Amino acid sequence: MSSIKPLVLHAHGSGPNPFKIACVLEFLKVPYEVKLWQFGNASNGVKGPEFLAINQNGRVPALQDENTGVTSWESGAVMNYLRRTYDKENILGPKGKGEQDIVDFEKWEYFLLSTLGPMMGKLSLNLSPSLTSSLTFSQAK
């Protein structure tokens, strides 16, 4: 995959959702760059006009793929896009092609997105500042 241009992962320094996408990108060995945004409506904020042009919802993660011209946001939609586009060996998808295989995969996928992800977000808000400051994209990438 070295011939593809790096994707742009839009994130902020804390919270679980951008990290989920970074993990998928790393696992699939897809090159990417991280663009960090701040909370709020400043020029570098997720509620500012520059980011709202990428994601009208004003939330991260968002992903821009110059190779395909696709912009996606919401972690589930981004993960599905990455699997369809870059997981040609089906490393991250269902174990088989049968309907039960697909349903079994989707059950765990949506559990991650709707239950585990929000719980991890609440946990990160309650961690000590010294611990959460060490869990940032600036040090992870």
The 10s digit of each residue's pLDDT in 35-70 is 999 989 899 999 999 999 999 999 999 999 999 999
The CATH architecture assigned to 7-140 reads 3-Layer(aba) Sandwich (3.40)
For the chain, which residues make up each domain, given as ranges? 7-140
The 10s digit of each residue's pLDDT in 86-105 is 999 888 888 888 999 989 88
Greater confidence (118 vs 21) lies with 21
**pLDDT for res 105:** 85
**pLDDT for res 127:** 60
Reading the block at residue 44, the tokens are 């570098």
Query: pLDDT-based confidence at 140, cuts 50/70/90?
Result: very low
